A and B are shown apart, each in its own frame.
Chain A
Amino acid sequence: MLRNSSRRLTASLQHQQRRLYAASAAAQPNDGIQQGVAYSKLLKRAPEEAFRTPELARMSAINSETKKMNLFQAVNDAMSIAMTTDDTAVVFGEDVSFGGVFRATSGLVEKFGRDRVFNTPLTEQGIAGFAIGMASVGHTAVAEIQFADYIFPAFDQIVNEAAKFRYRSGNQFNVGGLTIRSPCSAVGHGGHYHSQSPEAFFAHCPGLKIVTPRSPIQAKGLLLASIRDRNPVIFFEPKCLYRAAVEEVPVEDYELPLGKAEILKRGTDVTVVGYGSQIYALENAIQLAEKKMPGLSCELIDLRTILPWDVETVVESVNKTGRLVVAHEAPKSSGVGAEIASTVMENCFLRLEAPVERVCGWDTPFPLVFEKFYMPSMIRCYDAIKNVVNY
């Protein structure tokens, strides 16, 4: 009961959290960098911008209509399209039928009925196991784990069952129709159990795909691809972006490719890699670095898929720049950054001009009042860029 009420409390504090962000923005030092998602140049705020990537360019010719959505609305739109185009698709989890504690499933019961959008008892291992069972007979199951922090009771079902289902049966059975969505990462005041980024635990598990979007356009396209992908996918949604990230999102049904990173900014001197909400800290860090070190040119890559990750794009970039900074919120030791750094070392050894820098959460539980000092913030990412450039 305590846990559940604390979850609801967190959800109800969403608006308060936005005020907190505003307050901390006001206290920023005068470095000329407007920090935060609200000022990001990466978000597509005009309809014509929405299609300005090769991945979506073809769509604008067919139907260039867009709609202003935040991230939870984009997730909602993706699930709505998935259920419309697939009669076997269902959405379920704790508190999803009234719309979800983050509103991601609002309106779906009304559209698709209680058989296809439903609450489950409060049991994460049950939710994962039930979803696997549905997928094992060919249905599409989109299960929600209320916070990524609470995915661990389902770890056995995900790692021992979902991930190995196809392999162990010799491809007689599979759970390709399985997608587990879960809000993840820091939110300003989430403490130990409303802030975690557990992707690395799952990145060590062959058979799974792990995807995380940075924006509403990305969330819709990647979630639709995840739901339709013929492998079990864990889809981590950075909860601080649910309301903060707003874009003009194409209204059409579209997918973005899994296993492909996206180069958000071309550069020649240092490659900067991240994913999820960390992209915005990196965007600011690059702005600061390029301002303080005139002539510096950084390349920013959003990994998007954490497993299997896009080695080729990252390696190609580092072979060009000779320097790499990787950043994520999760703790440093054995985090995703370690995998990227060692792979880059294997593939770019003769081109590296500085040790790879990893900017991560410290190796502590996620703290409450110390959050600002825990985070791989703009200034820590800037510091790492400065270090690799000056090495």
Chain B
Amino acid sequence: MAQLNTMDGILYEAQRQGRISFYMTHYGEEATIGTAAALNAEDMIFGQYREAFMLVYRGFTMDEFVNQCFSNELDYGKGRQMPIHYGTKKLNFQTISSPLGTQIPQAAGAAYALKLAGKDACSICFFGEGAASEGDFHAGLNMAATLNSPTIFFCRNNGFAISTPSSEQYKGDGIASRGVGYGIDTIRVDGNDVWAVYNATKAAREIAVKEQRPILIESMTYRIGHHSTSDDSTKYRDRKEVEERAQFDNPITRLRRYLEQKQWWDQEKDDSWRKQIKQSVLQSFANAEKKKKPSLDHLFTDVYDELTPQLQRQKQELDRLIKDYPEYYPTDEFASSSSTSSSSSS
């Protein structure tokens, strides 16, 4: 939690300084990392965009986070998507996409496939209470219920969808009340209590995998940060309210008090841990900034498994333009053509 929090602080500032183009923090929702501890490594994750805690827990390195945000040649996504759209096959974390709610029926389908394959695994799907208003939420939950997909639907209800408060998002009793209507066993948890999140997810996983059916968890929390670096939340909510929530119901402070009571943690340890994380982020930062952008070949690769004849012609056209107008197409900051790229040949 502290690692995520520290990383968020530095990358948020980096965006403010114009060193990366975009960022989204997890402030106030760090306790959701409790879900990660309750899952198995083979469980497939479908996120919305505020789920970097899953990656932190599964061992995504600081370099890997920062390379993605810098869109450099080491970014697994080859610099094609905006910052924080992480993805990693080796950690079973499906690549994030911007369209909201689309991952919900996808998670139901992936879980169905895991079931058919006889895997001892489930899928977990994260989404905000705003995304739950999309048609895909209805489709995904109804399909998972009728087709018995072992999926954990995990709603982060943080009170806001950008500027829209939940009072303008729904009239019913939150998202949890809908689960019952789909025939899905549902629970609502204190999303700022890492143990509550952990316990609910652990039980949900057991039911999902053993009984092959979906479970819905609604985690009540509060979005302390702005929606994103493109948003100033003081335009639509009281700064005082935010400060109070940050101070009096902070998931990190709550866990820290617990640890301190058990005498497993203290100020000195905290300071040194945060310092270590900070150094690690800054080191990754320095490394990432020095790297080149991905090879321009990757503008055209991976649209299909192989370059189509049309794409080959368009690539040749761009190559010619770059040659004819080098002053308008500076290529110095891009890596040279890589013959090793998986699908650039044909």
Interface status of A107 (Cβ within 8 A of chain B): no
**B208 at the binding interface (Cβ < 8 Å):** no
**How far, in whole Å, are A353 and B322 apart by their CA atoms in the complex?**
35
Q: Convert A81-118 into 0s and 1s, putting 1 for each residue whose CB lies closer than 8 angstroms to a CB of B.
A: 00000001010000000000000000000000001101
Nearest-CB residue, chain B, relative to A118: B147
Partner of B94, one of A131, A134, A173, A209: A173
> Which residue in chain B gives the minimum CB-CB distance to A206?
B303
When distances are taken between beta carbons in the complex, the residues of chain A under 8 Å from B126 are none
Is there a chain A Cβ closer than 8 Å to B326's Cβ? no
Task: Using known A-B contacts A134-B113, A170-B302, A171-B342, determine if residue A259 contacts B136 with beta carbons closer than 8 Å.
Answer: no
Bound state CA distance, A128 and B106, in angstroms? 8
Given A156-B99, A160-B99, A170-B75, check contact A129 B106 (CB 8 Å).
yes
The answer to whether A168 and B106 have CB atoms under 8 Å apart is: no
B116 touches A132 (CB 8 A): no
CB 8 Å contact bits of B94-129 with A (1 = contact, 0 = none): 110101001011111111111011000001000000
Chain B residues whose C-beta falls within 8 Å of the C-beta of A135 in the assembled complex? 109
Size bin of chain B's contact surface: 35 or more
Q: Does B315 contact A (CB under 8 A)?
A: no
A130 touches B89 (CB 8 A): no
B108's nearest neighbour on chain A, judged by CB, is A130
Residues of B within 8 A of A123 (CB): 135, 138-139, 142-143
Distance between Cα atoms of A83 and B99 in the complex (Å)? 32
Chain A binder among B4-12, B29-37, B55-63, B305-313? B305-313
Contact of A136 among B110, B301, B304 (CB under 8 A): B110
A188 to B134, CA, bound (A): 36
Contact B305 A176 (CB under 8 A): yes
Contact string against B for A residues 127-144, beta-carbon threshold 8 Å, 1 for contact and 0 otherwise: 011111111111101000
Q: Which residues of B contact A172 (CB under 8 A)?
A: 76-77, 87-89, 95
Most buried by A among B85, B87, B113: B113
> By the criterion CB–CB under 8 Å, are B116 and A139 in contact?
yes
* Chain A contact residue count (CB 8 A cutoff): 49
How distant is the Cα of A64 from the Cα of B140 in the complex, in angstroms?
46
Per-residue 0/1 for A196-237: is the Cβ within 8 Å of any B Cβ (1 yes, 0 no)? 000000000011010000000000000000000011000000
Q: A153-B135, A169-B77, A230-B305 are in contact. Are A126 and B140 (CB under 8 A)?
A: yes
For residue A157, CB closer than 8 A to chain B, the reply is yes
Known contacts A90-B116, A129-B105, A168 near B81 by CB under 8 Å:
yes
Which residues does chain B contribute within 8 Å of A169, judged by CB atoms? 76-77, 87, 89, 94-95
- Which chain A residues border B298 with CB–CB below 8 Å? 170
Bound complex: CA A132 to CA B116 (Å): 16
**Contact across chains for B136 and A129 when beta carbons are under 8 A apart:** yes
* Those of A56-79 within 8 Å (CB) of chain B: none
Pair count A-B, CB < 8 A? 161
Given contacts A125-B136, A156-B99, contact A130 B109 (CB under 8 A): yes
Question: How long is the Cα–Cα vector from A138 to B95 in the complex, in angstroms?
Answer: 15
B337 within 8 A of A: no
Name which residue of chain B comes closest to A143, CB basis.
B109
CA distance A227 to B105 in the complex (A): 21
Contacts known (A129-B104, A129-B139, A131-B109); A170 close to B146, Cβ less than 8 A: no
Considering the complex, give the chain B residue whose CB is closest to the CB of A174: B305
Do A126 and B116 have beta carbons less than 8 Å apart? no
Closest to A209 in B: B304
For residue A40, CB closer than 8 A to chain B, the reply is: no
Q: Is B54 an interface residue (CB 8 A)?
A: no
| Interchain CB contact (< 8 A) of A130 among B105, B135, B309 | B105
C-alpha gap A207/B80 in the complex (Å): 14
A116 touches B310 (CB 8 A): no
With A and B bound together, what is the CA distance between A137 and B102 in angstroms? Answer: 16
Whole-angstrom distance between the Cβ of A151 and the nearest chain B Cβ: 14
Q: Give Cα distance in the complex from A171 to B95, angstroms.
A: 10
Chain B nearest CB from A117 CB (Å) reads 12
Residues 182-221 of chain B, each 1 if its beta carbon lies under 8 Å from chain A, else 0? 0000000000000000000000000000000000000000
Q: Is the CB of B97 within 8 A of A168?
A: yes
Chain B residues, CB < 8 A from A389: none
Q: Are A132 and B106 in contact (CB under 8 A)?
A: yes
Nearest opposing residue in chain A for B92, CB measure: A137
Q: Which of B27-55 contact A (CB under 8 A)?
A: 44, 46
Question: Which B residues between 70 and 88 are near A, CB-CB below 8 angstroms?
Answer: 75-78, 80-81, 85, 87-88
Decide yes or no: A88 and B116 within 8 Å by CB, A172-B87, A259-B308 being known contacts: yes
Q: Which residues of A contact B123 (CB under 8 A)?
A: 133
Q: Which of B108, B138, B139 has the largest number of chain A CB atoms within 10 A?
A: B139
Q: Give the contacting residue for B106; candidates A136, A138, A207; CB below 8 A.
A: A136
Is the C-beta of B343 less than 8 angstroms from some C-beta in chain A? yes
Whether the pair B113, A88 counts as a contact (CB closer than 8 A) is yes
A308 proximal to B (CB < 8 A): yes
Q: Report which residue of A157, A169, A311 has the largest number of chain B beta carbons within 10 angstroms of its beta carbon.
A: A169
Q: A133-B108, A134-B110, A136-B110 are in contact. Are A120 and B102 (CB under 8 A)?
A: no
**Of A126, A157, A308, which is in contact with the most chain B CB atoms at under 10 Å from its CB?**
A126
A262 adjacent to chain B (CB < 8 Å): no
| Nearest residue, chain B, Cβ from A178 | B109
**Of B95, B114, B142, B310, the contact of A126 (CB 8 Å cutoff):** B142
Contact check, B102 vs A160: say whether CB atoms are below 8 A apart: yes
Given A123-B138, A129-B140, A133-B113, do A231 and B104 touch, yes or no (CB 8 Å)?
Answer: no
The answer to whether A173 and B309 have CB atoms under 8 Å apart is no
Known contacts A129-B139, A164-B97; 4 further A-B pairs (Cβ under 8 A):
A120-B143, A126-B139, A153-B135, A173-B87
A and B contact pairs by CB, cutoff 8 A, 17 listed: A88-B117, A123-B139, A126-B136, A133-B105, A133-B110, A153-B135, A156-B136, A157-B102, A170-B87, A170-B298, A171-B301, A171-B342, A171-B343, A172-B87, A172-B89, A206-B303, A231-B304
Mark B residues whose CB is within 8 Å of A: 44, 46, 75-78, 80-81, 85, 87-89, 94-95, 97, 99, 102, 104-114, 116-117, 123, 135-136, 138-140, 142-143, 146-147, 298, 301-305, 308-310, 342-343
Residues of A near any B CB (own CB < 8 A) = 88, 90, 115-116, 118, 120-121, 123, 125-126, 128-139, 141, 153, 156-157, 160-161, 164-174, 176, 206-207, 209, 230-231, 259, 308, 311-312
The 3 closest A-B pairs by CB, nearest first: A133-B109, A129-B105, A126-B139
